[in-house]
C-alpha cells in the first residue's frame, strides 16, 4: 500500500513510486529509493507537493549496513580463542567496509586509510588463523549481500594469493581490491540490483554499468594501489574478450584480473540470494570448470580449487552413514579426509548431538557429497 508523504517530510531511503503536484498525480518513470538530498530538492523545485512511497520496500542501505556476526547456540566460536580473534577481524572488516559503502552511497568524501589498515590485518589473520577466518566469513546475512560478498572476496583473494606465494604488499593490495571491487553497485538502481526475476535487456545493461560507475569513485580514492583498481575493474572481464567494461582479451587481462574473476564468481555462486539458492563448493567448481578456457583461466582455476579444497572450511557435507555437518578443519595431506562437525541426520531429518569426526582416523566413513542447507531445507546457523 502506498503512503502519501508531503515533500517536506520526504527522507533519504524512501521508495517513491508516484508524485503529485498542484495539477496532477503521476507515476514515476523510474520508481526507486531516494538516495540523496539533491533528489528531494529537485522534486521540490519541479513543484512536487507530495510523493507516494511504498513502505514495504527496504532501502538498499540495509545491504551495506554493519551487523555484528551472530553467534549460534552451538557455535564453534564460543570458548575458542582462534575463532574469537577471527570474529573480531570479520566484524572490524564489516564495520569499516560498511562505513566506506555508506559514504559512497551518501556521496561523501571517501577515506581509504581505514580500509588499508583492515587489509593489513586480513593478511596477518590469513597467515595466522586461516581456517578460523574462513569459518567465520561463512556466517552470512542474505540481506547484506553486497557487504558480505565484498568482504569474502577480499578473504578469498588473500588466501589465493598466499597459495600462489605472492609478496606481502601484493596480498594487502588484493585485500583492498576485494573490499572495494563492487562499489559501483551502490549506484545501481535498487529495483535492478535486488530484482528476484530475470533482468530485462535494459536492466542488464544498467547492472553492467556498475563497472563504469566504479571508475570515478576509485579515482577519488587517493593512494589506491593499481593492483586494487585492477581487482575492481577486471573482475567481469573474460579471456576471450567478451567481458566488460573494456573487453580485455588474452594477456590484456592480468593475473590479478584473472584471480578476481575466479574469486568473484566462486563467492557469488556459493552465496544465497533473493533470486537463487546457494550452491555447494563442488557444484560451483563444476560450473566454473565449464567456463574455461574462454571465460576463466584454466590453470589458475585448478590452483584455486587446490587452494580452497573440494570441501572447504565451513562447507556442508554428508557422510556415508547419513550424518551431515560442517567441515571445520582440513587435512593438508588429503583434502578428502577433513575433520567434520556433525550434528544432523539426513536419514531421520533430525538434529543430533554435536560430534567431531576426523576422517583420517575413520576409514569406515567417507564424504559422499557436498550439499547445502537450502537443499536440506534446514538452517545450520546455530552450529557455525
* Cα–Cα dist 273/279, whole Å: 11
Q: Which three cell numbers stand for residue 381?
A: 546457523
What CATH number does the domain located at 63-308 have? 1.10.3210.10
Cβ count within 10 A of residue 64:
24
How is residue 58 annotated by DSSP?
A: P
Nearest to 130 by CA among 190, 171, 100, 99: 171
Length of the chain: 384
Q: Which three cell numbers stand for residue 351?
A: 538434529
Nearest to 179 by CA among 92, 93, 307: 93
Q: Which three cell numbers stand for residue 192?
A: 535492478
| Residue 258 φ/ψ, nearest 5 degrees | -65, -40
Q: Which residues are within 8 A (CB) of 28 and not within 5 positions of it... i.e. 6 or more apart? A: 16, 17, 18, 19
The H or E element spanning position 119 is helix 113-137
* Cα–Cα dist 270/280, whole Å: 6
| Residue 275 φ/ψ, nearest 5 degrees | -110, 5
pLDDT by residue for the chain (384 residues), tens only, comes to: 678 889 988 876 677 889 999 888 888 877 777 766 778 888 999 899 999 987 655 455 667 778 889 888 899 887 778 999 999 999 999 999 999 988 887 778 889 999 999 999 999 999 999 999 999 999 988 778 889 999 999 999 999 999 999 999 999 999 999 999 999 888 887 777 777 778 888 888 888 888 888 988 899 898 999 999 999 999 999 999 999 999 999 999 999 999 999 999 999 999 987 678 899 999 999 999 999 999 999 999 999 999 999 999 999 999 999 999 999 999 988 989 999 999 999 999 999 999 999 999 999 999 999 999 999 999 999 999
* Cα–Cα dist 232/356, whole Å: 39
Beta-strand runs (E) in the chain = 2-6, 15-20, 25-33, 50-54, 316-319, 323-329, 339-345, 350-358, 367-371
The residues that bridge with 196 in the sheet, in sequence order, are none
Ordered by start, the domain boundaries in the chain are 2-57, 63-308, 316-383
State the pTM of this model: 0.83
Start-to-end CA span in the chain (Å)? 38
* Cα–Cα dist 22/134, whole Å: 57
Amino acid at each position: 500500500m502506498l503512503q502519501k508523504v508531503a515533500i517536506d517530510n520526504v527522507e533519504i531511503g524512501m521508495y517513491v513510486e508516484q508524485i503529485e503536484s498542484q495539477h496532477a498525480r503521476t507515476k514515476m518513470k523510474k520508481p526507486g529509493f531516494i538516495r540523496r538530498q539533491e533528489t528531494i530538492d529537485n522534486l521540490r523545485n519541479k513543484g512536487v507537493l507530495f510523493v507516494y512511497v511504498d513502505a514495504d520496500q527496504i532501502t538498499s542501505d540495509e545491504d551495506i549496513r554493519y551487523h555484528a556476526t551472530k553467534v549460534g547456540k552451538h557455535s564453534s566460536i564460543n570458548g575458542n580463542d582462534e575463532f574469537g580473534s577471527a570474529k573480531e577481524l570479520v566484524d572490524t572488516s564489516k564495520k569499516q567496509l560498511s562505513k566506506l559503502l555508506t559514504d559512497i552511497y551518501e556521496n561523501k568524501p571517501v577515506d581509504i586509510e581505514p580500509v588499508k589498515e583492515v587489509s593489513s590485518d586480513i593478511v596477518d589473520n590469513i597467515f595466522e588463523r586461516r581456517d578460523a577466518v574462513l569459518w567465520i566469513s561463512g556466517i552470512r546475512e542474505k540481506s547484506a549481500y553486497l557487504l558480505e560478498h565484498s568482504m569474502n572476496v577480499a578473504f578469498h583473494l588473500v588466501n589465493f594469493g598466499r597459495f600462489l606465494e605472492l609478496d606481502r604488499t601484493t596480498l594487502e593490495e588484493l585485500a583492498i581490491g576485494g573490499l572495494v571491487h563492487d562499489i559501483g553497485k551502490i549506484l545501481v538502481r535498487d529495483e535492478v540490483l535486488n530484482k528476484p526475476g530475470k533482468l530485462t535487456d535494459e536492466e542488464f545493461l544498467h547492472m553492467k554499468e556498475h563497472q563504469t560507475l566504479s571508475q570515478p569513485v576509485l579515482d577519488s580514492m587517493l593512494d589506491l594501489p593499481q593492483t586494487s583498481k585492477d581487482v575492481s575493474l577486471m573482475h567481469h572481464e573474460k579471456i576471450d574478450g567478451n567481458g566488460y567494461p573494456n573487453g580485455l582479451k588474452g594477456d590484456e587481462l592480468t593475473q590479478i584480473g584473472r584471480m578476481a574473476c575466479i574469486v568473484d564468481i566462486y563467492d557469488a555462486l556459493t552465496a544465497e540470494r533473493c533470486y537463487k539458492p546457494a550452491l555447494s563448493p563442488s557444484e560451483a567448481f563444476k560450473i566454473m570448470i565449464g567456463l574455461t578456457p574462454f571465460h576463466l583461466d584454466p590453470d589458475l582455476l585448478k590452483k584455486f580449487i587446490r587452494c580452497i579444497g573440494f570441501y572447504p572450511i565451513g562447507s556442508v557435507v554428508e557422510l556415508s552413514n547419513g550424518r551431515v555437518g560442517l567441515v571445520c578443519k582440513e587435512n593438508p595431506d588429503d583434502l578428502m579426509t577433513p575433520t567434520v562437525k556433525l550434528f544432523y541426520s539426513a536419514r531421520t531429518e533430525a538434529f543430533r548431538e554435536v560430534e567431531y569426526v576426523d576422517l583420517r582416523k575413520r576409514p569406515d566413513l567417507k564424504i559422499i557429497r557436498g550439499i547445502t542447507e537450502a537443499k536440506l531445507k534446514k538452517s545450520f546457523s546455530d552450529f557455525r
